[in-house]
Amino acid sequence: MKPLRLTILSLAMFALISAMWGGLYRIGWYVNPLAGELPGIHGPLVVCGFLGALFALDRSLALKKRWGDVVPVLILAGTFLLFFKPVSQVCPAIIFVGSVGFTLMAFEVNLRQSNIYNRMILIGSLLWLAGIGMWFLRWPVYNVYLWWLGFVLFTMVGQRLELARRVRLVEPPFQLLSVAIAIVFLGQIALAVGHMSGPDSLMELEGEAIRDPRTLWGMRIAGFGLAATAAWLLVYDAAWSLLKSKGNARYSAICLISSYAWLAVSGVISLRHAGLVSGVSYDALIHSFFIGFVWFIIFGHGPILAFSSMGMRAPAMASLYVPIVVLHVSLIMRVVGDLTGRGAMVKNGGLLNAIALLLFIVLLTARLTRDRIQQKKVA
């Protein structure tokens, strides 16, 4: 692996750990936030500094052009500037330039090989571009995050389908998936149109949450699309055919099916609590998606991708089932705590969320390092 790419991965991981630290502070764990504004930049650190940088690195590897590696560097530069200038327009401006590069890479990859996987990643890049533009224009942060949710969904589903084609025995009905995920896109459009249809004064307090009636139909439409996409993945994804396998194949299948189940949960929450853009139900929506859907996919594909990047075959690691269990339990605690108003469950569930993610990273890194050292000794 090239030193620059290893540096990008390391900085993306630092952004993730910083985001987790800030997230714990936000839910009541009074740890030293390290930077005064760290809790407030929790979302951009995850979506831009971690996921955005990794997605850009993936497209750079697919494109195989030197300029591609500049894109994740720009994204990380804009993200880390948030530590020092959290409200400056310079930060989203730099990330916007990086996201333009990501879109150009996705466009060129799709030109080379146009298929449903690359088209989804291209659409995801456009959603991210739009979301960062809204961030730059100082749209409400919840509107930005809901657009970023679409970016992550399109990109990760596209990447998953691209990997799954190697084990697929029968071509699934991609037309149904296209309809389901297009509904999410329509929901994003409805969110933007709704925001422009009236002033911010339409927002109102509902208990300790904020209700924005302008987002009602956008969240409902997107929520239906999320649930429909999850249903398609649960029925047609190749993960089911791998459940009877052993080793890494079975482990990945369990992770992926878990991911799709949490995607369905986020869709139902968006449908049920549409219009609420802060408070406990919004927290349940955001974290069932960004932790449940996103991280279980990372759990499923992470070991294979990490070892293959080092030119090694991924070993079966029974220890990685521990983070799966901890993440499920912690997410159930957090979502149930949110929806029933039990703050202690949310606080403890959030801490266990962070422990599960760190445990996965530590176990994987330790095994990768050990096997790498052994490989060098043999050589």
Q: Which of 55, 47, 267 is nearest to 156 (CA)?
A: 55
Q: Which of 25-34, 146-155, 245-254 has the lowest mean pLDDT?
A: 25-34
Residues 175 and 38 in one domain: no
Q: Is the pLDDT assigned to residue 377 strictly greater than 80?
A: no
Say if residues 210 and 203 touch (Cβ distance below 8 Å).
yes
Residues 8 and 81 in one domain: yes
Share of the chain above pLDDT 70, in %: 96
pLDDT of residue 102: 95
Residue 197 belongs to some domain of the structure: yes
Residues 194 and 328 in one domain: yes
Domain final residue pick, 114, 144, 171: 114
Residues 217 and 341 in one domain: yes
Q: DSSP letter string over 143-199?
A: HHHHHHHHHHHHHHHHHHHHHHTTT-SS---HHHHHHHHHHHHHHHHHHHHHHHTS-
Say if residues 56 and 102 touch (Cβ distance below 8 Å).
yes
Residue 128 belongs to some domain of the structure: no
Residue numbers of the domain that contains 180: 155-370
pLDDT of residue 47: 94
* Residue 33 pLDDT grade (very low, low, confident, very high; cuts 50, 70, 90): low
What pairs with residue 204 in β-bridges?
A: 211
Residue 147 belongs to some domain of the structure: no
Residue 136 belongs to some domain of the structure: no
Residues 70 and 5 in one domain: yes
For the chain, the domain total comes to 2
Sign of torsion over alpha carbons 296, 219, 350, 34: positive
- Which of residues 87 and 233 earns the better pLDDT score? 233
The whole-number average pLDDT for the span 307-331 is 89
Residues 246 and 99 in one domain: no
Residues 247 and 344 in one domain: yes
pLDDT in tens, 334-375: 999 999 989 899 999 999 999 999 999 999 999 988 888 887
Q: Which whole-number Å values give the CA distances from 41 to 70, 86, 166, 257, 293, in the listed order?
A: 23, 7, 38, 30, 21
Residues 179 and 328 in one domain: yes
Burial classification of residue 268, based on how many CB atoms lie within 10 Å of its CB (0-12 exposed, 13-18 middle, 19 or more buried): middle
pTM, full prediction: 0.94
pLDDT of residue 169: 56
Residues 63 and 170 in one domain: no
